């Protein structure tokens, strides 16, 4: 929603423009100011997209406003209205990009047309090539981050979409979504060439080193394979590799096959380059066969466990993880801790379906697992739930929360895991009801404020500032909760107040107009007649009979 500010020191003109534009279907949030100084206050407290202003005003005039707008809101469009033939001001205005000039004598249709053109320009500017070019400068960096985040999501246990084509296309991934990948993981150590130093590398140094190794490996692999390097949540490089079709002579990369020789040899070169160029010792664990992209998580676990069983210090070692027995299913030996972060993230974000899908996957595979694994799964999940309960102080609203850390209260594993699921369901319901209650409370507060301040400025910006929301969100939330637009609600409230006051003879029509937010009697009369079909005086006379 764009915001339009109307500025003129003549109240009748300001109110007339406000009412006319408010009746047009331009999708604008309208604000008005009766002086340049008041307009300046608007411009200092909120974003304004279009300014419709007189040029000649006492105090701060239109050209001074234009200067301030140019400094603070460079995308704002300005439409100047004037009744003067001031060549210098007009010439200066039309030389400024985004500024139009109209004579007041041209009438409302011309103003509406100019405002519509300004809206169209704003729409177009959001799609303009210049913005695309600016965004393109950041695209490569954002693309790398998005790729890494996407595959970390998959490596650490997230459910994979059945069709990966769309994800790969949107993220511009260099891999073929229809083909399996070979996976390699690295364990790297920073070699400090100064013997006196015993300091541990900082997080930034480790991340920089991991990224350097990742990119170096991709460059050495690229002549013969598609490859994608990412950094897992432990800070270690992981590569997904698809040799080009002409190299696919073997069915796997076990010792002695062309693929095995190629990849093993390339990683030896990568190790040497890392040692000489980066001062890094890199140990590599390589899967012995390709894995389905939809089953990355299980293969990642297998390779990681093999890496942890390396012989000796592992420096400059390339070891092979045998994946023959892997069917790609989730291994019951996998630590639940690997997926607890995903459970916690889904719970914190209120993603009920994703949480339950992952929880069901964990507990379904746990049926045939050992007692130690089941115990770890129970308490890992309990800690996720308990942490959430403690952070949001919900212990009094969750029945049996104290049992989360007492597995022995349940007669079977099935009963224990059903309790954890029910507790999670309760937390999601509490979150949903809390969101609904807070929304209803906020809108009720806005309604009460409107009723108490009908004689004041009730612009969307002011109401949003009162409730501490941004204007666009308040507008959408009010419509969602009330079924009508905020502006319609305010108009209806003002009409009802005006009718009530008109039914007794204590106040003059002008005074009633002021009490419902209209300083000028002509503006109040137009507003009232538009809503009711009669003037305020005609309504009063009819009420007497």
| Tens-place pLDDT, residues 407-433 | 999 999 999 999 999 999 999 999 999
Looking at residue 291, the DSSP 8-state letter turns out to be: B
Is the pLDDT assigned to residue 488 strictly greater than 50?
yes
The answer as to whether 326 is a domain residue is no
With left for phi above 0 and alpha for psi between -120 and 50, is residue 14 left, alpha or beta?
alpha
Q: Please tell me whether residues 250 and 163 are part of one structural domain.
A: yes
Residue 273 to residue 426: CA distance in whole angstroms: 54
The answer as to whether 132 is a domain residue is no
Q: Please tell me whether residues 99 and 188 are part of one structural domain.
A: no
Q: Please tell me whether residues 194 and 149 are part of one structural domain.
A: yes
Q: Please tell me whether residues 281 and 373 are part of one structural domain.
A: no
Q: Which CATH number is 6's domain given? A: 3.40.50.2300
Q: How much of the chain is helix, strand and coil, in % rounded to 5? A: 60, 10, 30
The CA dihedral of 279, 283, 287, 288, to the nearest 10 degrees, is 110
Is the pLDDT assigned to residue 250 strictly greater than 60?
no
Please give the structure tokens belonging to residue 504. Answer: 């007794």
What crossing angle do the helices spanning 337-349 and 371-391 adopt, rounded to 10°?
30
Q: Please tell me whether residues 419 and 484 are part of one structural domain.
A: no
pLDDT band at 99 (very low <50, low <70, confident <90, very high): confident
The answer as to whether 383 is a domain residue is yes
DSSP, collapsed to helix, strand or coil, labels residue 2 as strand
Least-confidence region, from 309-318, 377-386, 412-421, 462-471 = 309-318
Of 435, 469, 485, the one marking the end of a domain is: 435
Q: Please tell me whether residues 537 and 507 are part of one structural domain.
A: yes
Q: Please tell me whether residues 211 and 173 are part of one structural domain.
A: yes
The answer as to whether 299 is a domain residue is yes
Is the pLDDT assigned to residue 483 strictly greater than 60?
yes
Q: Please tell me whether residues 104 and 146 are part of one structural domain.
A: no
Strands, E, within 232-328: which ranges?
Answer: 237-243, 280-287, 318-321
pTM: 0.62
Looking at residue 158, the DSSP 8-state letter turns out to be: P
Across the chain, mean pLDDT equals 83
- List the domain range (segments joined by +) for residue 475: 453-544
What is the structure's pLDDT at 247? 46
What is the structure's pLDDT at 419? 96
The answer as to whether 411 is a domain residue is yes
Sign of CA dihedral 437, 442, 446, 448: positive
Q: How many domains are contained in the chain?
A: 4
Is the pLDDT assigned to residue 46 strictly greater than 70?
yes
The answer as to whether 445 is a domain residue is no
- What percent of the chain stands above pLDDT 90? 42
Instruction: State the burial class of residue 515 (Cβ atoms within 10 Å of its Cβ: 0-12, 13-18, 19+).
Output: middle
Least-confidence region, from 157-166, 201-210, 359-368, 409-418 = 157-166
Higher pLDDT among residues 308 and 173, named by residue? 173
Element (H, E) at 168: helix 165-170
Please give the structure tokens belonging to residue 45. Answer: 């407290």
What is the structure's pLDDT at 261? 63
With left for phi above 0 and alpha for psi between -120 and 50, is residue 84 left, alpha or beta?
beta
Looking at residue 181, the DSSP 8-state letter turns out to be: B
Q: Contacts by 139-148 with C-beta closer than 8 Å and gap 24+? A: 143/171, 143/172, 146/171, 147/171, 147/173, 147/228, 147/230, 148/230, 148/231
Q: Please tell me whether residues 460 and 424 are part of one structural domain.
A: no
Of 371, 400, 435, the one marking the end of a domain is: 435
Q: Please tell me whether residues 345 and 315 are part of one structural domain.
A: no
- Which of 312, 168, 288 is closest to 228 using CA atoms? 168
Least-confidence region, from 28-42, 88-102, 177-191, 479-493 = 88-102
pLDDT band at 8 (very low <50, low <70, confident <90, very high): very high
Of 258, 292, 321, the one marking the end of a domain is: 321
pLDDT digits (tens, 9 = 90+) for 271-319: 888 888 888 888 898 988 898 888 888 888 888 877 766 666 666 788 8
Is the pLDDT assigned to residue 475 strictly greater than 60?
yes
pLDDT digits (tens, 9 = 90+) for 331-342: 444 567 767 888
Is the pLDDT assigned to residue 468 strictly greater than 60?
yes
Sign of CA dihedral 383, 388, 390, 391: positive
Q: In what order do the strands lie in the sheet with 182-190?
A: 225-231, 237-243, 182-190, 280-287, 318-321
Q: Which CATH number is 159's domain given? A: 3.30.70.270
Is the pLDDT assigned to residue 394 strictly greater than 90?
yes
Least-confidence region, from 35-44, 256-265, 517-526 = 256-265
The answer as to whether 399 is a domain residue is yes
Q: Please tell me whether residues 7 and 91 are part of one structural domain.
A: yes
- Which of 53, 22, 47, 26 is closest to 115 using CA atoms? 26
Do the Cβ atoms of 180 and 294 come closer than 8 Å? no
pLDDT digits (tens, 9 = 90+) for 67-79: 888 888 888 999 9
Average pLDDT of the segment spanning 348-362: 90
Q: Please tell me whether residues 118 and 182 are part of one structural domain.
A: no
The answer as to whether 446 is a domain residue is no
């Amino acid at each position: 929603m764009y915001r339009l500010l109307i500025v003129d020191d003549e109240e009748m003109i300001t109110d007339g423009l406000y009412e006319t534009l408010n009746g047009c279907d331009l999708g604008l949030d309208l604000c008005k100011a009766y002086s340049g100084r008041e307009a300046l206050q608007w411009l200092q407290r909120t974003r304004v997209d279009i300014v419709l202003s007189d040029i000649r005003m006492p105090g701060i005039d239109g050209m001074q406003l234009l200067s301030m707008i140019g400094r603070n809101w460079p995308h704002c469009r300005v439409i100047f209205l004037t009744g003067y033939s001031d060549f210098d001001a007009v010439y200066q205005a039309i030389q400024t990009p985004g500024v139009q000039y109209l004579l007041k004598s041209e009438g409302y249709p011309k103003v509406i047309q100019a405002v519509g053109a300004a809206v169209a320009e704003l729409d177009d500017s959001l799609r303009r090539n210049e913005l695309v070019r600016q965004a393109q400068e950041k695209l490569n960096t954002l693309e790398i981050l998005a790729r890494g985040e996407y595959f970390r999501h998959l490596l650490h246990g997230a459910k994979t979409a059945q069709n990966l084509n769309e994800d790969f296309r949107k993220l511009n991934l260099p891999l073929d979504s229809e083909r399996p990948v070979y996976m390699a993981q690295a364990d790297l150590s920073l070699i400090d060439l100064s013997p006196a130093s015993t300091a541990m590398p900082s997080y930034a140094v480790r991340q920089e080193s991991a990224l350097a190794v990742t990119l170096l490996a991709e460059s050495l692999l690229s002549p013969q394979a598609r490859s994608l390097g990412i950094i897992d949540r432990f800070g270690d490089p992981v590569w997904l590799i698809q040799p080009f079709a002409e190299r696919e002579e073997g069915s796997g990369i076990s010792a002695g096959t062309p693929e095995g020789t190629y990849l093993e040899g390339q990683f030896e070169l990568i190790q040497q380059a890392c040692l000489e160029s980066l001062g890094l010792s890199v140990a590599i664990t390589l899967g012995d066969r390709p894995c389905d992209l939809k089953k990355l998580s299980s293969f990642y676990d297998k390779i990681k466990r093999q890496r942890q069983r390396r012989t000796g210090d592992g420096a400059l070692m390339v070891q092979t993880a045998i994946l023959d027995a892997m069917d790609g299913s989730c291994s019951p030996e996998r630590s639940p801790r690997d997926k607890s972060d995903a459970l916690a993230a889904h719970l914190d974000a209120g993603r009920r379906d994703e949480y339950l899908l992952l929880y069901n996957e964990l507990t379904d595979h746990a049926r045939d697992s050992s007692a130690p694994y089941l115990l770890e799964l129970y308490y890992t999940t309990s800690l996720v739930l308990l942490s959430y309960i403690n952070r949001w102080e919900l212990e009094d609203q969750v029945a049996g929360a104290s049992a989360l850390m007492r597995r022995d209260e349940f007669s079977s594993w099935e009963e224990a895991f059903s309790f954890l699921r029910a507790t999670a369901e309760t937390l999601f319901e509490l979150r949903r009801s809390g969101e609904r209650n807070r929304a209803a409370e906020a809108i009720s507060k806005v309604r009460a404020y409107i009723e108490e301040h009908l004689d004041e400025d009730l612009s969307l910006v002011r109401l949003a500032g009162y409730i501490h929301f941004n204007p666009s969100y308040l507008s959408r939330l009010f419509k969602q909760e009330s079924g009508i637009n905020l502006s319609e609600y305010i108009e209806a409230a003002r009409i009802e107040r005006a009718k009530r006051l008109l039914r007794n003879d204590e106040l003059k029509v002008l005074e009633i107009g002021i009490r419902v937010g209209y300083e000028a009697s002509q503006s109040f009369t137009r507003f009232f007649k538009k809503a009711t079909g009669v003037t305020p005086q005609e309504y009063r006379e009819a009420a007497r009979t």
